[in-house]
């Protein structure tokens, strides 16, 4: 600005008269540019990482854990062999997955003779082994095998004895669930963590019975009546046999149910008692 004034003052009078309006126009242009640049001095807010939408209250009610990436390596990566969480980054310690997917490990507990096929009487024995009463075990064995037998058959013909084939257990995955198992039977750590970040309102790592009911309702897919019943049956049965003395379903208990290690502990506890 000072340099321009010096140049104008050194010009002849006629030239200076022409230069002054040009200088005034330059000053008028410079002013707004400075103010415009100052208005954008702070970087815009990054909305791409937000997990809550102001006009969708349900996203604020059912929160996600934004720090899971720091607590567990690659939490978005579904694990085929191990049920992992921040407290168990390597899965259940000392347990051999035997090359089975996490969903197959869950089901394999009920394969009492280890031949890869679960018959209704084996389901009954498994339910008894984890502490279910006679009526629940009898009805549960019929419903579980009736529901899962045909989808897991290796061919098109149904099994007359309602057998379940563990190799195809992923085909029996139903809707309206937590989606912790993916469609191939792997374990998704981010979906597992969301169970507690969304619904563990009383305790961050446990569910009360009411919170469990809220989760079942929140996971419902529209018109998926079979999925609603299957999910309710599974979770309420788990709650009845595995809740602690305070009526809570602990995070580690639920994680153990997903890979089947909980069933082994319940069986051992029943034998020892």
Q: How far apart are CA 39 and CA 161, in angstroms?
A: 75
Residues 6+ apart with CB under 8 A from 128: 134, 137
Same domain, 11 and 111: no
The tens digit of pLDDT for each residue in 7-26 reads 444 444 444 444 444 444 44
Say whether both 78 and 135 belong to one domain.
yes
Say yes or no: 179 and 195 in one domain: yes
Residues whose CB is less than 8 angstroms from the CB of residue 11 and which lie 6 or more positions away in sequence, other chains included:
19
Residues 39 and 80 reside in one and the same domain: no
Contact 102, 258 (CB under 8 A): yes
145 and 267 both lie in a single domain: yes
- pLDDT at 151 > cutoff 70: yes
The residue-averaged pLDDT of 230-245 equals 98
pLDDT the model gives residue 8: 40
My answer on whether 78 and 6 are in the same domain is no
Q: What is the mean pLDDT of residues 89-110?
A: 97
Number of structural domains found in the chain: 2
Would you state the pLDDT for residue 43? 58
Residue 2 above 80 pLDDT?
no
Write down the pLDDT at residue 243: 98
Domain boundary among 40, 61, 82: 61
Instruction: Return the pLDDT at 79.
Output: 98
Q: Would you state the pLDDT for residue 46?
A: 83
pLDDT tens string 21-57: 444 444 443 444 444 444 445 556 789 999 999 999 9
Same-domain check for residues 88 and 36: no
Going by the DSSP 8-state scheme, the letter that residue 224 receives in this structure is -
Count of helices and strands (H, E) across the chain:
12, 4
Alpha helices in 40-133 (DSSP H): 57-61, 68-71, 102-108, 120-129
Please indicate, yes or no, whether residues 92 and 25 belong to a single structural domain of this protein: no
Confidence bin at 273 (pLDDT 50/70/90): confident
Which residue, of 10, 38, 61, is where some domain finishes? Answer: 61
DSSP 158: P
Burial of 66 (0-12, 13-18, 19+ CB in 10 A): exposed
Query: Would you say residue 172 has pLDDT above 90?
Result: yes
Confidence grade of residue 180 (pLDDT, cut at 50, 70, 90):
very high
Domain of residue 44: give its range: 2-61
pLDDT at 62 over 80: yes
**Same domain flag for 148 and 221:** yes
Q: What's the whole-number mean pLDDT along residues 193-209?
A: 97
pLDDT above 80 for 248: yes
Which residues is 207 bridged to in the sheet?
Answer: 249
Tell me: do 56 and 89 sit in the same domain.
no
Q: Do 188 and 145 share a domain, yes or no?
A: yes
Q: Answer with the one of 39, 61, 83 that is the final residue of a domain.
A: 61
Residues whose CB falls within 8 Å of the CB of residue 73, separated by 6 or more in sequence, listed in order: 89
Q: What rounded mean pLDDT belongs to the chain?
A: 89
89 within 8 A of 79, measured Cβ to Cβ: no
pLDDT greater at residue 41 or residue 229 = 229
Residues 48 and 97 in one domain: no
247-257: average pLDDT = 98
SS3 234: helix
CA-to-CA distance for 53 and 209, rounded, in angstroms?
Answer: 28
Among the listed residues 198, 232, 234, the one whose alpha carbon sits nearest the alpha carbon of residue 217:
232
């Amino acid at each position: 600005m000072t340099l321009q004034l010096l140049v104008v003052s050194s010009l002849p009078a006629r030239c200076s008269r022409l230069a002054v309006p040009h200088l005034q126009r330059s000053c008028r242009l410079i002013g707004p540019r400075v103010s415009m640049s100052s208005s954008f001095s702070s970087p815009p807010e990054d909305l791409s990482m937000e997990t809550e939408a102001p006009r969708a209250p349900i996203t604020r009610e059912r929160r996600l854990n934004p720090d899971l990436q720091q607590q567990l390596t690659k939490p978005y990566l579904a694990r085929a062999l191990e049920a992992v969480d921040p407290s168990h980054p390597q899965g259940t310690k000392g347990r051999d997955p035997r090359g089975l997917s996490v969903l197959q490990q869950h089901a394999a507990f009920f394969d009492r003779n280890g031949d890869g096929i679960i018959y209704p009487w084996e389901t009954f024995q498994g339910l008894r082994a984890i502490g279910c009463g006679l009526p629940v075990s009898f009805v549960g064995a019929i419903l579980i095998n009736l529901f899962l037998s045909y989808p897991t058959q290796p061919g098109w013909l149904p099994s007359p004895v309602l057998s379940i084939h563990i190799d195809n257990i992923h085909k029996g995955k139903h809707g309206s669930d937590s989606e912790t198992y993916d469609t191939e039977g792997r374990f998704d750590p981010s979906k597992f963590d969301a169970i507690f970040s969304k619904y563990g309102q009383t305790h961050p790592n446990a569910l009360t019975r009411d919170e469990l009911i809220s989760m079942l309702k929140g996971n419902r897919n529209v018109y998926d009546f079979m999925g609603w019943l299957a999910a309710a049956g599974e979770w309420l049965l788990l709650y009845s046999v595995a809740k602690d003395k305070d009526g809570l379903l602990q995070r580690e208990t639920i994680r153990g149910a997903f890979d089947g290690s909980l069933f082994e502990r319940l069986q051992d506890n029943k034998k020892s008692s």
